[in-house]
Amino acid sequence: MGSRFNGFLRILDLGVRREVIAYVFTGILTSALYIIIFNTLQHFAPEARHINSNISFIIAVVVQYFAHSKLTFRTRALVGGQAVRFSLAVTIGFIISISIIALAPLFQISDFFASVIVTLLLPVVNFVLFKFWAFDNKRVSRDSSR
């Protein structure tokens, strides 16, 4: 398995390889941040489960935006419509996620398998949306020159 993964990484050019590694690192970082914030809030206000989750999600997404901007795609964070495109990309990912979960019973797909599909598909979809749209350096350069 490891050699196949290394072979895949060799196919990628060095810039994309660095971006993929930074993307994975940022994903792990923001997931850990969500878990820490959510569980800390749950400790103090366990009855506010949904509010705690929303607060944790928003903070994690904001950190994710700045981390992807600086570490993954190396763009300036507050340029033109980049934050709007990022927010729309996250929203598209969210819609894909809830659609898969909602449609799974129609295709007799278990909740577990539907969640696996979301877990495997969403990072790929988000990477493509982030790289070629939200954080596209050519687009960001055009946005900043306006």
Cα 125 from chain centre: 9
Which pLDDT band, with edges at 50, 70 and 90, does 115 fall under? very high
Q: What is the mean pLDDT of residues 40-61?
A: 94
Q: Report the candidate in 73, 86, 83, 81 with the shortest Cα–Cα distance to residue 145.
A: 81
> Domain coordinates of the chain in residue numbers?
1-74, 76-138
Kindly report the pTM of this predicted structure. Answer: 0.78
